[in-house]
């Protein structure tokens, strides 16, 4: 069916019919009232419209249409047209893209060529199958400023359409693998801020992935965990009235906002993209119940037993650090239990004589914060070392469902100038009951160290670069291994520049135990061990590592196995958020607060002392 509608000075054609969109301006009256000659030209309808899904990096449910005007008046040739407004079923849609010549362009930069104005428009639209909808596009005529519009109707195809209309809103997280390493069970943590009226409870959040299945999609709800939910809603600030100095209209600078973090495990092929949809705005949603292999059992004090399909790990009751690891495939228990409290994880630590050497494993009362759910369990430990004065340290563990990897982050902050013989991090200690060899990556090759012939404590069995990718302890006959993967390292000084460092290195030790550690400032481990070395106030030492206990990979080979694990964790997936433009959001640019007091065209703005009073 073709329907011609005369609008002002132009005649538009809208011919969706569920298959194509074709917009046509005929020659009614030319601008200025001149006769138009009465001819009408209809171009061949291109394929379309296209109803699309948010899959493989596409962030939207959308409809995309092609429009053609084959008879643009000569005096408008080359002028810039604008797509001024888009409506679907009489509701404004603020999220749309305009394409011309096969590429995305600014919505105010449409141009005609050869007497034709031809363009595509892609509109964010939560379509339902076999549902008829009307699309209205306002165009701004460039010389007179007069608006014209195109109205077209289309019927969506068969298929699943929008995941579930009970969830009225969604944000898309486009996850991209850009380093050439496939990811399986990769932990994604994203923080999303939505207007507070759109989220009633964290229980309503769902993470869904849509994947192509022929011409349609298959939906898969992904187990997710919502945490760190916080709402900004300051009535004093919201009550402040500001007006634009020119228009007198109210300046809307703030909306009550709820932010939440969501975690899930992503699957992405090498070089590919995936779209994970975070649905919300469903007050009637029940709390989700996900089956997961991650279980946490509380014991005395900070003692915890964390278990999944790959390991059973216990935490020390006083310090909260990792105490034992059982690798489930072999059933072998990895432990230390020779010194102090016998923990596996020993530091951050500082040795500043005449004070005793103090390790994080010696803690008895760190401040502990836990987050537990079906995707991950995290424990954050922080506190001051009792000596020397001014040393703050923190440890954070992440244990994930369905993964053998434990993520370990540590930070040391030095509050005042001090002198030390040792300031270390990333130490893992085992007794000699299980392992017989060590391996590490050096110069692009996997090197193996046999403890039977290696140097013995106090000499170092091996001294390695500080950027060594990984170190492993293993025993082929027992079929067991453990590796520390060194992912990120930062050593800034809060007062500017670098933290104090004295030829930092990673080293392996062979004594009553086997251990690997990182020295930042470490004269005690050298041939001149009596040197007292300075550490400047403001020095910060941060490590992010991954630990993995694993059955020895006889088929793949140890080096290849650990390279694959390292590459999959070292190079993060890119995560890009795409969220709808809320109807409450102000039009155009909101002038930011750049000076005190604020005098940039806003009447009644709170600046200087007045704004500081509001902040209180």
> pLDDT value at position 112?
82
What is the CB neighbour count within 10 angstroms for residue 486?
23
Q: Which residue has the tokens 């899959």?
A: 55
Q: In which band, very low, low, confident or very high, does the pLDDT at 411 lie, cut at 50, 70 and 90? A: very high
What φ, ψ does residue 204 adopt, rounded to 5°?
Answer: -85, -10
The maximal CA–CA distance of the chain, rounded, in angstroms, is: 101
Give the pLDDT mean for 270-298: 96
pLDDT of residue 387: 87
Binned at pLDDT 50, 70 and 90, residue 48 comes out as: low
pLDDT at 19 over 50: no
pLDDT exceeds 90 at position 10: no
Is residue 404 scored above 80 in pLDDT? yes
Residue 613 pLDDT exceeds 60:
no
Read off the pLDDT of each residue in 260-269 and give the average, rounded to a whole number. 97
Cβ neighbours for 152, distance < 8 A, ≥ 6 positions apart = 14, 15, 16, 21, 23, 65, 134, 135, 136
Segment 357-391, tens digit of pLDDT: 999 999 888 999 999 999 999 999 999 998 899 99
DSSP, res 564: H
C-beta atoms surrounding 394 within 10 Å: 18
Straight-line distance from the first to the last Cα atom of the chain, in angstroms, rounded to the nearest whole number: 64
Q: Residue 534 pLDDT > 70, yes or no?
A: yes
Q: What percent of the chain has pLDDT over 70?
A: 87
pLDDT digits 0-9 by tens, 52-64: 999 999 999 999 9
Q: Give the pLDDT score at 612.
A: 39
Question: Which of 25-29, 222-226, 417-421, 430-434 shows the lowest per-residue confidence on average (mean pLDDT)?
Answer: 25-29
Q: Is the model's pLDDT at 271 over the cut of 50?
A: yes
Residue (of 135, 136, 74, 78) closest to 109 by Cα position: 78
The residue among 143, 192, 148 whose CA lies nearest residue 170 is 192
Handedness of CA 111, 112, 114, 117 (dihedral sign): positive
Residue 28 has pLDDT above 70, yes or no: no
Q: How far apart are CA 110 and CA 74, in angstroms?
A: 15
pLDDT over 60 (residue 439): yes
* pLDDT tens, residue by residue, 333-352: 999 999 888 999 999 999 99
Task: Report all structural domains of the chain as residue ranges with CATH numbers, in order of start.
Answer: 3-155 (2.60.40), 169-280 (2.60.40), 335-569 (2.70.98)
Q: What is the pLDDT of residues 474-491, one digit of tens each?
A: 999 999 999 999 999 999
Return the pLDDT at 128: 96
pTM, two decimal places: 0.88
pLDDT for the residue 142: 67
Mean pLDDT of the 512-521 span: 97
Q: Which two tokens stand for residue 408?
A: 């370990």
Number of Cβ within a 10 Å radius of residue 403: 23
pLDDT digits (tens, 9 = 90+) for 136-180: 999 887 676 767 788 888 899 999 999 999 999 999 999 999 999
Partners of residue 302 on adjacent β-strands: none
DSSP category for residue 566 = H
- What gap in Å lies between CA 533 and CA 423, rounded to an integer? 10
Is the pLDDT assigned to residue 2 strictly greater than 90? no
- pLDDT on residue 5: 35
Region of 333 please: left (phi>0), alpha (psi -120 to 50) or beta.
Answer: beta
Express each pLDDT in 451-471 by its tens digit. 999 999 999 999 999 999 999
Q: Across all residues in the chain, what is the average pLDDT?
A: 88
Q: What is the pLDDT of residue 599?
A: 52
Q: Cα separation of 589 and 298, whole Å?
A: 51
| Cβ neighbours for 463, distance < 8 A, ≥ 6 positions apart | 505, 506, 507
Rounded to whole angstroms, the Cα distance separating 28 from 146 reads: 16
């Amino acid at each position: 069916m073709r329907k011609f509608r005369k609008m002002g000075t132009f005649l538009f054609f809208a011919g969706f019919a569920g298959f194509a969109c074709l917009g046509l301006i005929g020659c009614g009256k030319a601008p200025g009232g001149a006769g138009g000659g009465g001819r009408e030209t209809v171009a061949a309808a291109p394929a379309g419209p296209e109803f699309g899904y948010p899959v493989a990096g596409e962030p939207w449910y959308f409809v995309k249409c092609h429009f053609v005007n084959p008879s643009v008046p000569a005096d408008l040739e080359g002028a810039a047209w604008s797509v001024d407004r888009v409506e679907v079923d009489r509701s404004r849609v603020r999220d749309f893209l305009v394409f011309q010549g096969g590429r995305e362009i600014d919505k105010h930069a449409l141009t005609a060529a050869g007497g034709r104005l031809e363009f595509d428009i892609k509109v964010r639209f939560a379509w339902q199958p076999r549902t008829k909808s009307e699309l209205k596009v306002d165009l701004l005529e460039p010389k007179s400023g007069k608006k014209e519009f195109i109205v077209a109707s289309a019927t969506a195809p068969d298929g699943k359409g929008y995941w579930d209309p009970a969830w009225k809103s969604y944000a898309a997280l486009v996850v991209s693998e850009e380093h050439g390493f496939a990811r399986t069970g990769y932990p994604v943590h994203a923080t999303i801020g939505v207007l507070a009226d759109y989220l009633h409870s964290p229980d309503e959040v769902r993470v869904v992935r849509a994947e192509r299945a022929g011409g349609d999609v298959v939906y898969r709800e992904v187990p997710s965990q919502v945490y760190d939910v916080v709402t900004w809603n300051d009535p004093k600030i919201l009550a402040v009235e500001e007006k634009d100095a020119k228009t007198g209209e109210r300046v809307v600078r703030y909306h009550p906002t709820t932010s939440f973090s969501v975690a899930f495990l992503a699957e992405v092929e090498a070089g590919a993209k995936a779209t994970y949809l975070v649905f919300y705005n469903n007050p009637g949603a029940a709390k989700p119940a996900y089956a997961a292999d991650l279980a946490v059992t509380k014991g005395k004090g900070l003692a915890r037993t964390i278990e999944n399909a790959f390991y059973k790990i216990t935490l020390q009751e006083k310090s909260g650090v990792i105490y034992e690891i059982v690798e489930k495939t072999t059933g072998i228990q990895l432990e230390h239990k020779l010194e102090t409290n016998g923990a596996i994880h020993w530091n951050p630590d500082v040795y500043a004589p005449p004070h005793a050497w103090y390790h994080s494993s010696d803690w008895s009362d760190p401040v502990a914060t836990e987050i537990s759910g079906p995707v991950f369990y995290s424990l954050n430990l922080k506190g001051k070392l009792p000596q020397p004065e001014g040393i703050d340290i923190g440890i954070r563990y992440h244990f994930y469902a369905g993964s053998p990897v434990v993520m370990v982050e540590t930070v040391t902050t030095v509050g005042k100038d001090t002198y030390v013989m040792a300031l270390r991090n990333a130490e893992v200690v085992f007794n000699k009951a299980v392992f017989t060899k060590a391996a590490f990556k050096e110069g692009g090759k996997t090197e193996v160290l046999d403890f039977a012939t290696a140097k013995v404590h106090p000499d170092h069995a091996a001294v390695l670069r500080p950027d060594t990718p990984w170190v492993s302890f293993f025993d082929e006959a027992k079929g067991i291994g453990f590796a520390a993967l060194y992912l990120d390292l930062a050593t800034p000084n809060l007062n500017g520049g670098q933290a104090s460092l004295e030829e930092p290195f990673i080293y392996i030790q062979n004594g009553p135990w086997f251990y690997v550690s990182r020295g930042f400032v470490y004269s005690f481990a050298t041939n001149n061990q009596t040197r007292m070395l300075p550490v400047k106030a403001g020095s910060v030492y941060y490590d992010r590592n991954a630990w993995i206990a694993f059955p020895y990979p006889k088929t793949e080979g140890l080096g290849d196995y650990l390279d694959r694990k390292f590459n999959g964790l070292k190079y993060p997936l890119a995560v890009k958020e795409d969220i709808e433009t809320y109807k409450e959001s102000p039009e155009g640019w909101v002038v930011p607060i750049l000076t005190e007091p604020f005098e940039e065209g806003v009447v009644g703005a709170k600046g200087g002392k007045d704004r500081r009073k509001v902040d209180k």
